[in-house]
Structure 1
Amino acid sequence: MDPALSTTLGALHREARRRLESAGIDGAAFDARLLVEHFTATTRAEAISDPDRMVDAQAVAAADAALTRRIVGEPVHRILGFREFHGLRLNLSAETLEPRPDTETLVDAVLPLIAQMVERHGTCRILDLGTGTGAIALALLAAVPQAVAVGADISDDALATALRNARDLGLLERFTATKSDWFGAISGQFDVIVSNPPYISSAEIKTLQKEVRDFDPLRALDGGADGLDAYRVIARESASHLKAGGIVAVEIGSSQNTDVTGIFHDAGFPVVTALRDLGGNDRVLVFARDGKA
Structure 2
Amino acid sequence: MASAGSDEPDDDNEPGKVRVEVVDVEGGGQVLIAVRRDGSPIDPMDLVAKIEGAEPTAYAALAAQWHDLSIGQLRRALTAWLREAGIEDAEHDSRRILETVLKPYQLNAVLDASTPAAWSIPSEVAEMAVRRAAREPLSQIIGSVGFWTLDLIVTRDVLTPRPDTETLVRAALGRITDRSAPLKILDIATGSGAIALALLSELPNAHAVATDISPAALEIAKANAARNQLSGRVRFLETGWADGVEGRFDLLVSNPPYIAPEVIATLEPEVRDFEPLLALDGGQGGLAPYPHLLNEARRLLNPGGHALFEIGHDQGAPVLELARAAGFGSARILADLAGHDRVLAVHN
Q: Check whether TM > 0.5.
A: yes
Cα distance change on mapping 1:51 and 1:253 into 2, 3 Å: same
Say if 2:107 is the partner of 1:44. Answer: yes
Q: Which among 280, 287, 290 is matched to residue 346 of structure 2?
A: 287
**Structure 2 match to 1:15:** 77
Say if 2:174 is the partner of 1:112. Answer: yes
Report the residue type matching 2:156 in the other structure: A
Report the residue type matching 1:178 in the other structure: L
* Cα distance in 2 for residues equivalent to 1:87 and 1:239: 31
* Cα distance in 2 for residues equivalent to 1:193 and 1:77: 27
**Structure 1 match to 2:278:** 219
* Cα distance in 2 for residues equivalent to 1:271 and 1:196: 20
**Structure 2 match to 1:90:** 152
**Structure 1 match to 2:51:** none
Report the residue type matching 2:198 in the other structure: A
Report the residue type matching 1:218 in the other structure: L
What's the offset of the Cα at 1:44?
A: 3.2
Greater C-alpha radius of gyration: 2
SS in 2 for 1:63: helix
What's the offset of the Cα at 1:242?
A: 1.4
* Cα distance in 2 for residues equivalent to 1:21 and 1:266: 48
* Cα distance in 2 for residues equivalent to 1:231 and 1:32: 39
What's the offset of the Cα at 1:55?
A: 2.2
Mean Cα deviation higher: 37-46 or 166-175: 37-46
User: Does the Cα contact within 8 Å between 2:159 and 2:276 map onto a contact in 1?
Assistant: yes
User: Does the Cα contact within 8 Å between 1:92 and 1:133 map onto a contact in 2?
Assistant: yes
What's the offset of the Cα at 1:62?
A: 1.2
User: Does the Cα contact within 8 Å between 2:78 and 2:129 map onto a contact in 1?
Assistant: yes
Report the residue type matching 1:102 in the other structure: D
User: Does the Cα contact within 8 Å between 1:153 and 1:180 map onto a contact in 2?
Assistant: yes
Structure with bigger helix share is 1
What's the offset of the Cα at 1:53?
A: 4.4
Superposed CA offset, 1:92-129 (max 9, x none): 1221110000110000001022344x56xx31100001
Cα distance change on mapping 1:6 and 1:154 into 2, 3 Å: farther
Mean Cα deviation higher: 231-240 or 166-175: 231-240
* Cα distance in 2 for residues equivalent to 1:253 and 1:74: 23
SS in 2 for 1:194: strand
Superposed CA offset, 1:157-193 (max 9, x none): 1111111111111111101111010011322221111
SS in 1 for 2:285: coil
Report the residue type matching 1:3 in the other structure: A
**Structure 1 match to 2:257:** 198
User: Does the Cα contact within 8 Å between 1:235 and 1:267 map onto a contact in 2?
Assistant: yes
What's the offset of the Cα at 1:244?
A: 1.3
Cα distance change on mapping 1:235 and 1:43 into 2, 3 Å: same
Which 5+ residue runs of structure 1 have no aligned equivalent?
Answer: none
Report the residue type matching 1:100 in the other structure: R
**Structure 2 match to 1:261:** 320
Say if 2:185 is the partner of 1:126. Answer: yes
Q: What does 1:53-92 correspond to in 2, within 5 Å?
A: 53-92=115-154
Which 5+ residue runs of structure 2 have no aligned equivalent?
Answer: 1-60
What's the offset of the Cα at 1:269?
A: 1.8
Report the residue type matching 2:146 in the other structure: E
**Structure 2 match to 1:3:** 63
Q: Which among 301, 305, 326 is matched to residue 246 of structure 1?
A: 305
Mean Cα deviation higher: 95-104 or 36-45: 36-45
Mean Cα deviation higher: 225-234 or 50-59: 50-59
TM-score w.r.t. length of structure 1: 0.92
* Cα distance in 1 for residues equivalent to 2:157 and 2:148: 21
Q: Which among 216, 232, 243 is matched to residue 291 of structure 2?
A: 232
Identity of matched residues, %: 39
User: Does the Cα contact within 8 Å between 2:324 and 2:331 map onto a contact in 1?
Assistant: no
* Cα distance in 1 for residues equivalent to 2:76 and 2:114: 12
Q: Which among 143, 158, 161 is matched to residue 220 of structure 2?
A: 161
What's the offset of the Cα at 1:84?
A: 0.6
Report the residue type matching 2:220 in the other structure: T
RCO (CA 8 Å, sep 6+): is it higher in 1 or 2? 1
What's the offset of the Cα at 1:6?
A: 5.5
Q: Please report the RMSD computed on the Cα atoms of aligned residues, expressed in angstroms.
A: 1.6
User: Does the Cα contact within 8 Å between 1:127 and 1:150 map onto a contact in 2?
Assistant: yes
